[in-house]
Amino acid sequence: MKHSIALILCAILILTLFSGCAGKKSEAELYYEGDWYGWWMITNSTLPDFEDDGQTSYWYDCIANFSFLMAGGGTLTIFDEDSSRDEPIAAIPILLNNETKVITSRKDGWFYESEVGEGDLTIDPEDAYYENNLVFELHFENDEGSFDGFFFLCPWGDDWQRIVDDNPDSLPYGFETWYLPKIEAGESAPDTIELDYDAIDAIHQENN
């Protein structure tokens, strides 16, 4: 009995220490941790369904989630208006350098059905166009062709005012009608992006 109690107490101590270590996020992890909202677009496409004719724009609102466990290791998941948090377009194991804040992909990631391997993805805050902004690319390829996905993100809850003032063409499609009402109401990022395209088109017509 004493032996069993000792083992239980030892297990509790280990779990307590583990929880304490796991709960201490680095400054770099805290910078990324959580949801980021923005858009992504298809570029350099050779796929028949997404022909890059220089006129058509394939642009989607999206949410990216960064989640870290221990020692800078974590996962990046991305979903857009045609997918969901439960069925994302990308799920990529990542490794964060706590000194440089640079993220690189580890093996066994994917973007749609295309593999994202070790080092295929790099996210560097120094590449950002604005403060508290991330930009990066993912590559897709199958038997029919390939494309690059360019991502532009800001933390969920950000008002994007610096971007509104500098380049409103860089705002997500649902920024005014979908995103702003949610953050003004103090809502967390949802599991789907359900845009009102008629309302969005009406606003764009007014602005033009």
Nearest to 128 by CA among 27, 26, 34, 38: 38
Neighbours of 195 (CB within 10 A): 16
pLDDT confidence of residue 142: 92
**Stated pTM of the model:** 0.85
Model confidence over 175-202: pLDDT tens digits? 999 999 999 999 999 999 999 888 888 8
Q: Where are the domains of the chain?
A: 25-207
Check pLDDT > 70 for residue 8.
no
Q: Per-residue confidence at 9, pLDDT binned at 50, 70, 90?
A: very low
Q: What is the overall mean pLDDT for the chain?
A: 88
- Per the rule left: phi > 0, alpha: psi between -120 and 50, beta: everything else, 112 is left
Average pLDDT over residues 16-42: 80
Q: Per-residue confidence at 141, pLDDT binned at 50, 70, 90?
A: very high
Q: Write down the CATH number for the domain with range 25-207.
A: 2.40.128
Q: Per-residue confidence at 167, pLDDT binned at 50, 70, 90?
A: very high
Model confidence over 63-96: pLDDT tens digits? 999 999 877 899 999 999 999 999 999 999 999 9
Average pLDDT over residues 4-10: 36
Structure tokens at 152: 């532009």
